Amino acid sequence: MRKVAKFMNPWNVLITVFFMAVQVAGMLAMPTITANIIDFGVSEGNIDYIVRNGFFMLGFTLLTIVSALLNVLFAAKESQGLGHTLRKKIYRMVIYFTNEELDRFGTSTLITRATNDIMQLQFVMMMVLRTMILAPFLMIGAGAMAYSREPKLAFVFFITMPVLGALIWFILKFSSPLFKSMQRKTDNLNRIFREGLTGIRVIRAFNKDAYERERFDEANWDFALTSIKANTIMAFMMPSMVLAVSVTNILITWFGAQFISTGDMQVGNMVAFMTYAMQILIGVMMVSMVLFFLPRGQVAAERVMEVLETPNLIEDPATPKKLTDTDVSVQFDNVSFRYHGAEATALEDINFTLNKGERLAIIGGTGSGKTTLANLISRLYEVESGQIKVNGIDIRDVKQGELRRLIGFAPQKALLFSGTIRENMKYGRPEATDEEIWHALDVAQGKDFVSGLPKQLDSRVEQGGGNFSGGQRQRLSIARALVTNADILVFDDSFSALDFKTDAKLREALKPDTRDAAVIIIAQRISTVIDADQIIVLDQGTVVGKGTHEELKANNPVYQEIMESQLKGEDI
Amino acid sequence: MAKGGTSNAAHLRAKKANNFWGTVLRLIKYMSTRFWALVATLFLAIAATIMSAQAPHILGRATTEIYRGLQEGRSLQEAGETIDQFPIDFGIIQNVILTVAIVYVTQAVFQFFQQFITARIAQKTVYDMRKELKEKISRLPIKYYDTHSTGDILSRAVNDMDQIANTLQQSLTQFIISVVQFVTVLIVMSLIDLRLTFVTIATVPISLILIAFVAPKSQKQFANQQRELGNVNDHVEETFSGHTVVKTYNREEDEIKKFDDRSDRLNDASLKAQFLSGIMMPLVSFSRDLGYFGVAIVGGMGVANGTMSLGNVQAFIQYVNQFSQPVRQIANLANTIQVTIAACERVFEVLDEEEMTEEASGLEPKRNTPYKVEFEHVQFGYGDEADDALLMNDFNLTVNPGDMIAVVGPTGAGKSTLINLLERFYDVKGGSIRFEGVDTRDIPKPELRTKFSMVLQDTWSFNGTIWDNIAYGSEEHGHDRDRIYAAAKAAHVDDFVRRLPEGYNTILNEEGTNISQGQRQLITIARAFLADPEVLILDEATSSVDTRTEILIQKAMTNLLENRTSFVVAHRLSTIRDADKIIVMNQGDVIETGNHDELMEQDGFYADLYNSQFASYEENEDYA
Residue-wise pLDDT tens digits, A250-280:
888 888 888 888 877 777 788 788 878 877 8
Q: Do A198 and B150 touch (CB under 8 A)?
A: yes
CB atoms within 10 A of CB A553: 18
Residues 49-68 of A with CB under 8 A from B: 50-51, 54, 57-58, 61, 64-65, 68
Contacts of B450 in chain A (CB under 8 A): 207
DSSP category for residue A199: T
**Which of A138, A134, A187, A176 lies closest to A294 in space, CA to CA?**
A176
Please provide the size of chain A in residues: 572
Q: What CA–CA distances, in Å, run from A253 to A100, A156, A282, B90?
A: 69, 11, 20, 11
pLDDT tens digits, residue range B356-408?
Answer: 777 777 788 888 888 888 888 888 887 766 666 777 778 888 888 888 888 88
Q: Contact at 8 Å (CB) between A199 and A169?
A: no
pLDDT band at A341, cuts 50/70/90?
low
Tell me, what's the pLDDT at B6? 35
From the list A297, A339, A335, A301, the residue with the least C-alpha distance to A102 is A339
Task: Using an 8 Å CB-CB cutoff, list chain B residues near A34.
Answer: 292, 296, 317
Share of chain B above pLDDT 90, in %: 1
Q: Is the pLDDT of residue B170 over 80?
A: no
The CA distance from B245 to A101, in Å, is 16
Rounded to 10°, the helix A47-95/B194-241 angle is 10
Q: Which of residues 266-305 of A touch B (CB under 8 A)?
A: 267, 270-271, 274-275, 278
pLDDT digits (tens, 9 = 90+) for B97-109: 899 889 989 988 9
Instruction: Confirm if A387 and A396 have CB atoms less than 8 A apart.
Output: yes
Distance of residue B520 Cα from the nearest chain A Cα, in angstroms? 11
- From the list B537, B454, B316, B573, the residue with the least C-alpha distance to A525 is B573
Output the pLDDT for position B412: 58
Which is it for strands A542-547 and A534-539: parallel, antiparallel or unpaired?
Answer: antiparallel
Q: Does the pLDDT value for residue B333 go beyond 80? A: no
What are A525-535's pLDDT values in tens digits?
Answer: 777 777 888 88
Tens digit of pLDDT for each residue in A206-223?
A: 777 888 888 889 989 998
Cβ neighbour number for residue B404 with a 10 Å cutoff: 22
The pLDDT of residue A23 is above 80: yes
What are residue B565's DSSP bridge partners? B535
Query: Are B63 and B314 a contacting pair, CB within 8 Å?
Result: yes
Closest chain A residue by Cα to residue B64: A267
pLDDT for A391 equals 80
Of A562, A559, A541, nearest in space to A549 by CA: A559
Residue B4 has pLDDT above 50, yes or no: no
Helix, strand and coil content of chain B, in percent to the nearest 5, comes to: 65, 10, 25
Q: Are A28 and A142 in contact (CB under 8 A)?
A: yes
Band (pLDDT 50/70/90 cuts) for residue B410 is: low
Spell out the residues 6+ positions from residue A366 whose beta carbon is closer than 8 angstroms to its own.
A524, B516, B517, B518, B519, B544, B545, B546
What pLDDT was estimated at residue B192?
A: 82
pLDDT at B121 over 80: yes
DSSP-derived secondary structure for B102-120? HHHHHHHHHHHHHHHHHHH
d(CA A333, nearest CA chain B) in Å: 22
Chain B partners within 8 Å of A275 (Cβ): 317
Q: What is the pLDDT of residues B560-572, one digit of tens each?
A: 666 788 888 776 6
Mean pLDDT over residues A326-333, rounded? 80
User: Under DSSP, is residue B234 helix (H, G, I), strand (E, B) or coil?
Assistant: helix
Q: Which range has the worst mean pLDDT, A6-10, A556-560, B175-179, B466-470?
A: A556-560
Rounded to whole angstroms, the maximal C-alpha distance in chain A is 119
pLDDT at A570: 40
Q: What is the pLDDT, as a whole number, of residue B13?
A: 37
Please answer whether residues A482 and A408 qualify as being in contact, where contact means their C-beta atoms are separated by less than 8 angstroms: yes
Own/partner pairs, B605-614, CB within 8 angstroms, 24+ separation: B606/B408, B606/B582, B608/A501, B609/A499, B609/A500, B609/A501, B609/B408, B609/B409, B609/B410, B609/B584, B610/B576, B612/A500, B612/A501, B612/A504, B612/A505, B613/A500, B613/A501, B613/A504, B613/A527, B613/B573
Inter-chain touch A228–B123, beta carbons under 8 Å = yes
Q: Distance from B544 to chain A by nearest Cα, in Å? A: 7
* Residue A562 contacts B where some CB pair is shorter than 8 Å: yes
pLDDT for the residue B617? 42
Residues 6+ apart with CB under 8 A from A295: A176, A180
Identify the bridge partners of residue A547 per DSSP, sorted by sequence position. A535
Of the candidates A43, A217, A415, which has its C-beta nearest B242's C-beta?
A: A415
Of A209-218, A543-552, B211-220, which has the strongest mean pLDDT? Answer: A209-218
Chain B residues in contact with A286 (beta carbon < 8 A): none
Average pLDDT of span B497-516: 72
Residue A136 scores a pLDDT above 60 = yes
Q: Are B92 and B61 in contact (CB under 8 A)?
A: yes
Query: Residue B237 pLDDT more than 50?
Result: yes
Residue type, A448: D
Average pLDDT over residues A290-314: 80
The CA-atom distances, in angstroms, between A556 and each of A118, A520, A571 are 55, 21, 18
> How many distinct helices (H) and strands (E) make up chain A?
22, 12
- Check whether B618 has a pLDDT greater than 50: no
For residue range A47-84, list pLDDT tens digits in order: 788 888 888 888 888 888 899 889 889 988 888 888 88
CA distances (Å), origin B291, targets A46, B353, B454: 21, 52, 73
Over residues A513-532, mean pLDDT = 79
pLDDT of residue A221: 92
* pLDDT tops 60 at residue B511: no
Which candidate, B127, B120, B119, B126, places its Cα nearest to that of B165? B126
User: Is A516 in contact with A501 (CB distance < 8 Å)?
Assistant: no
Contact A249 B90 (CB under 8 A): no
The pLDDT assigned to A1 comes to 64
> CA B396: distance to chain centroid?
42
Average pLDDT over residues A498-521: 78
Separation in Å, CA of B350 to nearest CA in chain A: 13
ipTM, 2 dp: 0.79
Number of H helices, E strands in chain B: 23, 10
**What contacts B70, CB < 8 A, 6 or more positions away?**
A43, A260, A267, B86, B88
Find the residue in B nearest to A75 (Cα).
Answer: B275
What is the H or E stretch that residue B585 is in? strand B581-586
Question: Rounded to the nearest 5°, which phi and psi values hold at A208?
Answer: -105, 15
Residue B284 pLDDT: 78
Instruction: Give B-chain residues touching A256 at CB under 8 angstroms.
Output: 66
Q: How many CB atoms lie within 10 A of CB B603?
A: 10
**Residue among A73, A423, A463 with most chain B CBs within 10 A, to mutate:** A463
pLDDT at position B213 over 50: yes
Among candidates A190, A234, A415 on the partner chain, residue whose Cβ is nearest the Cβ of B245: A415
For residue range B53-91, list pLDDT tens digits in order. Answer: 888 888 888 888 888 888 788 788 888 777 777 777 888
The string of pLDDT tens digits covering residues A99-125 is 777 777 777 778 878 877 888 888 888
pLDDT of residue B17: 61
What pLDDT score does B327 carry?
Answer: 78
Q: pLDDT tens across B429-483, in order?
A: 888 888 888 888 888 888 888 888 877 666 777 778 888 888 887 777 667 788 8
Distance CA A53, CA A33 (A): 7
| pLDDT tens track for B244-253 | 788 778 788 8
Quick check: B606 and B582 in contact, CB under 8 A?
A: yes
pTM above 0.90, yes or no: no
The predicted pLDDT at position A366 comes to: 65
* Choice between B386 and A388, residue whose per-residue pLDDT is larger: A388
A367 Rama sector, left if φ>0, alpha if ψ -120 to 50, beta otherwise: left
Mean pLDDT of chain A: 80
Collapsed DSSP state (helix, strand, coil) of residue A461: strand
Q: What gap in Å lies between CA A388 and CA B321, rounded to an integer?
A: 75
Q: Residues 9 to 28 of A: which have CB under 8 A from any B CB?
A: 23
- Which A positions 132-171 lie with beta carbon below 8 A of chain B? none
Which backbone phi and psi does B507 adopt, to 5 degrees? -90, 125
